[in-house]
Amino acid sequence: MTEQTIYRHLRELRSHFTPPRGFTHPEISDGTLVMTMSPRPRHQLTAVDIRDQLTAQLPGGLIVAEATDTDDESLGTLRIPDVLVVPRAAMETDDPLDPREIVLAIEIVSPSNPDNDYRDKSSDYPAMGIPHYLILDPRDGTWTYQWGIDTCGGRPAYGNRLRKQPYGTPLAVVTDIGTWKLDTGALPRYSRKDMMLPPAPAPDPDAGPDTGAGG
C-alpha cells in the first residue's frame, strides 16, 4: 500500500470521524491521525491579536485566515495552521487549500502536544512548500521564526531560524511581498490551569522572612 493510498484512506476516515469531546478535528502526518486538545481561550486570543496586526499591514489581495485545512497528497500530509497569510483567491476552493499558496503559517503552541508544532510541523511545512513559519509559545512567552526552504540535505528544511526569542523582542517577517512587523510584548500567556499544572503553593503565613543568614 502506497503512502498516497494510506493518506486517502485516512482522509476518508477523517471525513466521517467525530472527535472526542475536548479535542480538535485531526490532522494527518506520517501515516497517522494527529489530534490535539481544543484551543484554550488565551490560545484563541493570541490568534486574534496576531491576525489583527497582520491584517493592518497586508497588501491588497492577501488575507489572514484561521484554522484552514491544507494538504499535499504526494506527501500524505494534511495540516491546519492556527493562522495563515494567503491570497484571497486561493481560498475559493472546495478542496483543502494548496499549501504552496500560503505565504506564512503561524502555530500557537498547544500545552498538550508542543512537539507537534516544534518538531513535526517544522518538518512538514517546508516539505509542503510553505516559505515562512512562526511559532508563538504562550507557555513561556517566546517565539521561534523559521524561513528560507533549503533542499541541500535531500529533504526540504528551513535554512534560517530564530529560536526561542522572548515576547517583546522585535520580530519582522520579511517576505518577497513585504515586511510585516509583529509586536508580541502584550500577547497573553497561559496560566498554570491552561497548562494543566496544579495551583502554585500559597505562601506560608507563619514563615518568617528569609534573611539569607546562615545558621
CA distances from 69 to 66, 131, 202 (A): 9, 17, 44
Q: Which residues make Cβ contacts (< 8 Å) with residue 47, sequence separation at least 6? A: 39, 66, 82, 83, 106, 108
In this predicted structure, the answer to whether residue 156 has a pLDDT above a threshold of 70 is yes
CA dist., res. 22 & res. 205, Å (int): 38
- What letter represents residue 136's amino acid? L
Q: What is the DSSP letter of 200?
A: P
Q: What percent of the chain has pLDDT over 90?
A: 80
All cell numbers assigned to 159 = 535554512
Give pLDDT, residue 202.
78
Tens digits of residue pLDDT in 54-98: 999 999 999 999 999 999 999 999 999 999 999 999 999 999 999
- Give the mean pLDDT of 115-134: 97
Give pLDDT, residue 214.
46
- Give the mean pLDDT of 148-157: 93
pTM: 0.91
Tens digits of residue pLDDT in 2-11: 888 999 999 9
In this predicted structure, the answer to whether residue 210 has a pLDDT above a threshold of 60 is no
- Give the mean pLDDT of 115-143: 97
Instruction: Please state the φ and ψ torsions of residue 197, each to the nearest 5 degrees.
Output: -105, 150
In this predicted structure, the answer to whether residue 134 has a pLDDT above a threshold of 60 is yes
Q: Long-range contacts of range 177-183, CB-CB < 8 Å, 24 or more positions apart? A: 177/59, 177/62, 177/103, 178/57, 178/58, 178/59, 180/53, 180/54, 180/57, 180/58, 180/104, 181/57, 182/50, 182/53, 182/54, 182/134, 183/53
In this predicted structure, the answer to whether residue 19 has a pLDDT above a threshold of 60 is yes
Helices (H), the chain: 3-15, 41-55, 114-115, 121-127
Give pLDDT, residue 213.
47
Give pLDDT, residue 207.
67
Compute the Cα dihedral for 136, 140, 141, 142 and give only its sign.
negative
Give pLDDT, residue 200.
84
CA dist., res. 130 & res. 128, Å (int): 6
Mean pLDDT of the chain: 93
In this predicted structure, the answer to whether residue 212 has a pLDDT above a threshold of 80 is no
Distance of CA 153 to the CA centre of its chain: 24
CA dist., res. 168 & res. 52, Å (int): 17
Compute the Cα dihedral for 44, 50, 56, 62 and give only its sign.
negative
Q: What is the DSSP letter of 17?
A: -
Give pLDDT, residue 92.
97
Note whether 99 and 127 are within 8 A (CB). no
Instruction: Please state the φ and ψ torsions of residue 174, each to the nearest 5 degrees.
Output: -100, 110
Tens digits of residue pLDDT in 22-66: 889 999 999 999 998 899 999 999 999 999 999 999 999 999 999
